[in-house]
Amino acid sequence: MRIIVVSDTHGNYNALKKIFEKNLSADMFIHLGDGEREFMELSRLYPQKAVRNVAGNCDFAPLSPEVAVIGAGGHKIIASHGHRYGVKYGIDHIKMIALKNGADIVLFGHSHVRFNYYEDGIYFFNPGSASSPRDGKRPSYGFIDITAHGVVANHVEL
């Protein structure tokens, strides 16, 4: 199972469209906030695709939840923008949410900085920003492959 993870598009519809078009064979698309409107608009073009999204701190009058619990390939995923959990300063708070919910994959955005870390049986992944990265790198998104042999998460530059 392949899941495409994107965050912080901040109105950049073209970047998001490019990500969708490059990954049409993916099983699911997850947007982690600050781009709710363009994600919802684009997902209407691909009604056959499984899509999930959460609201970010810059999504005005959001229509989406702040946190989503998603089952995928026998794993439990917590998806959050991350601003309510202080992800710019560490993963301790969001890790507690994962432990409380029995999740083994945590997806978050907000910092516009790529992050891929495994600790205590939990994968932590931030795809960076698809429009305005803050880590001196190119805009990015990520993928998570869930197989019978395990989980692989990685970043992809636009």
Domains and CATH numbers, the chain: 2-157 (3.60.21.10)
Reading the block at residue 145, the tokens are 């492959």
* Cα torsion through 117, 69, 49, 124, rounded to 10: 0
* Cβ(10)–Cβ(134) below 8 Å: no
| Mean per-residue pLDDT, 83-112 | 97
Q: Write out pLDDT tens, residues 18-38.
A: 999 999 999 999 999 999 999
User: Which pTM does this prediction carry?
Assistant: 0.96
